[in-house]
Amino acid sequence: MKRFGIITTCFLLFFNCKTDEIKEASPETLQIQESVLLQKELFDLPGIAFGMIVNDTVVYANGHGVRALGTQEPMTSKSLFHMASVSKPFVATAIVQLVEQGKIDLDGKLTAYLPYFIMADKRYKDITIKHMLTHTSGIPDTDDYEWDKPQFDDGAAERYARSHKTSKLDFMPGTVYRYSNPAFDILCDVIAKTSGMSFESYMERNIFEPIGMKNSSFFRPEKGNPLATTPHIIGDSLQRIVSEIYPYNRRHAGSSTLHSNVEDMLLWARVYLNKGTIDGRTIFSKDSYELLTTIHTPDSLRKVALSWSLGMLNGSKIYQHSGGDTGYRTFFGFMPEKKSAVVVMANSDNFWSTDSATGILKNAVFNDSVQPKAPIHLKLKDYMLTEGMEKVKEIYFAEKEKSPQSYVFGGGSLDDLGYWLLNREYHIQAMEVFNFNMELEPDDAGWVDSVADGYRAMDSTDLAIEWYKKALKMKPDQGFSKRKLDELLNKGQ
């Protein structure tokens, strides 16, 4: 493990002490911090915040880096992040609260709560609330969250629920698992209509306030909020830059717009580790906890409870959810058998939040020594435009020879670098990367297809056709190559 020297740090304990008591850093804490700082370095992150509970005790809660590039405002355990899809378990929790109150039936039809919800597919009448919470509703996912055209008013949730009149289901409700962000956005309107208040107000009064999550909200933090962070993306020069777009829109609140920090999320962890209670306050019953964590999906390969995905770490269950939107990556997971939990947040794209969080958690809980890695193209990007392909190859092979390795190698990473370049119209450099990828893995038809995409971007149609045909000769069932070849062959007809 890479060493950063002796780091003096302290953090507030949330268990078995008052909030103003401080505990000095232990060797275990320093080890976690070294891992977190290494992740920040490997993934080239402006800022990262990390929190962990092990055996019912907070062992780490801190932030590192800056809230926004170009400033000296430090990241802390109080810094607020857009949590993206980590929002969804909060929606599920609100739903089971309303089930406890007799206001919602999980097996009840969506149209019983929102009679104005209509789709261009008669099967929509069979959608239940449980289908929506388990990604088995058949409601198709969306690619456009209209972050550039945000809606801020209380009517946004209902308008979104009413906006599906021309949509058709992907499958019969309850028969297939397929991730659906819109299902959780529509559930915001269900919560509003059954509770008599806006979705955001319900969450404030019934979840955040009783838990003590003082800084959490489904509203976007106001500009100038000293705790707010700024999203970052990969810019045209392949360097991290502040995103012009902030991922917020009230029509997508349920799937995406939770804002929280490490300290609040560790309180959330305590609720789940204690099966619905915290400091003598009941947020939901033990029966509801069982309902929330019971697998409901028909697909044996996808173990999904009410919003939670079930995974395994060294033979122990972990209920988890990751999140990713423009400029942010997050993860939250808890292990009931180990009384442990982890949360990580980064104010940037291209961070493997799940691998990083669960890797460090495994080290802390099971004394594993495996260090989470990053994809190699995150290091190579810093050399491609400034020093060229030969330097990129030198760095690639030098990193690959190291033991232990800090990066994940393989064609997929190089392919990502190539498309970053291609999408920014660095065509020659992209082709250099694609060809290097083919040198390393000449039998992979996917990389041949990438070369074809490069020629197509440069309007070299004949060469693009030739290379798509090469890809299909290697792998006749490679559908994306066939589709693009047909597009070129039929162009102009």
CA distance 175 to 140: 14
Contacts of 270 (CB under 8 A, 6+ apart): 14, 15, 53, 278
What angle, 0 to 180 degrees and rounded to 10, lies between the N-to-C axes of helices 461-474 and 445-457? 170
Tell me how many domains the chain contains. 2
Q: 373 near 408, Cβ under 8 Å?
A: yes
Please count the other Cβ atoms lying within 10 Å of the Cβ belonging to residue 44: 18
Mean pLDDT of 447-462: 97
| The pLDDT of residue 20 is above 90 | no
169-187 pLDDT per residue, tens: 999 999 999 999 999 999 9
- In angstroms, the CA 107 to CA 113 distance is 12
Query: What CATH number is associated with residue 395?
Result: 1.25.40.10
Same domain, 252 and 327: yes
- 147 and 88 within one domain: yes
Q: Is residue 355 domain-shared with residue 399, that is, in the same domain?
A: no
Rg of the chain in Å (alpha carbons): 24
pLDDT in tens, 41-54: 999 999 999 999 99
Please indicate, yes or no, whether residues 185 and 203 belong to a single structural domain of this protein. yes
Q: Is residue 455 part of a domain?
A: yes
In a domain, 22, yes or no: no
CATH code of the domain covering residue 223: 3.40.710.10
| Range in 91-95, 294-298, 329-333, 474-478 with the lowest mean pLDDT | 294-298
pLDDT digits (tens, 9 = 90+) for 254-303: 999 999 999 999 999 999 999 999 999 999 999 999 999 999 998 777 89
Please check whether residues 209 and 294 belong to one and the same domain: yes
Do residue 118 and residue 228 come from a single domain?
Answer: yes
**Which residue type, as a one-letter code, is found at position 68?**
A
Strands (E), 69-124: 81-82
In whole angstroms, what is the distance from residue 132 CA to residue 306 CA? Answer: 9
pLDDT at 39: 98
Flag whether pLDDT at 62 surpasses 70: yes
Nearest Cα residue to 69 out of 49, 42, 46 = 46
Among 334, 366, 398, the domain boundary falls at 366
At how many degrees (to 10) do helices 427-440 and 411-423 cross? 170
Average pLDDT over residues 347-365: 97
Q: pTM of this prediction?
A: 0.92
Instruction: Tell whether the model's pLDDT for residue 157 goes beyond 60.
Output: yes
Kindly give, in sequence order, each residue whose CB lies less than 8 Å from that of residue 141, ignoring residues fewer than 6 positions away. Answer: 178, 179, 180, 181, 182
120 and 154 share one domain: yes
Is 344 in the same domain as 388?
A: no
Residues in CB range of 18: below 8 A, 6 or more apart = none
Asked whether residue 438 is assigned to any structural domain, the reply reads yes
Q: Is residue 401 situated within a structural domain?
A: yes
The pLDDT value recorded for residue 369 is: 86
Domain residue limits at 198: 84-366
User: End of a domain among 300, 334, 366?
Assistant: 366
Angle at 257 between CA 254 and CA 260, to 5 degrees: 120
Same domain flag for 362 and 419: no
Residue 30 lies in a domain: no
Identify the pLDDT of residue 493.
60
DSSP alpha helix (H) spans, 330-476: 353-366, 377-384, 389-401, 411-423, 427-440, 445-457, 461-474
Mean pLDDT along residues 149-165: 97
Residue 137 predicted with pLDDT over 90? yes
Phi, psi at 82, each rounded to 5°: -70, 120
| Last residue of one domain, picked from the residues 366, 388, 415 | 366
Q: Is the pLDDT of residue 7 over 60?
A: no
N- to C-terminal Cα distance for the chain? 59
Same domain, 356 and 388: no
Residue 73 lies in a domain: no
* Residue 244, CB-side half-sphere exposure with 13 Å CA sphere: 3
**Range from 105-114, 298-307, 356-365 carrying the lowest mean pLDDT:** 298-307
Is 215 within the bounds of a domain? yes
145 & 172 share domain: yes
**54 in a domain, yes or no?**
no
Same domain, 99 and 164: yes
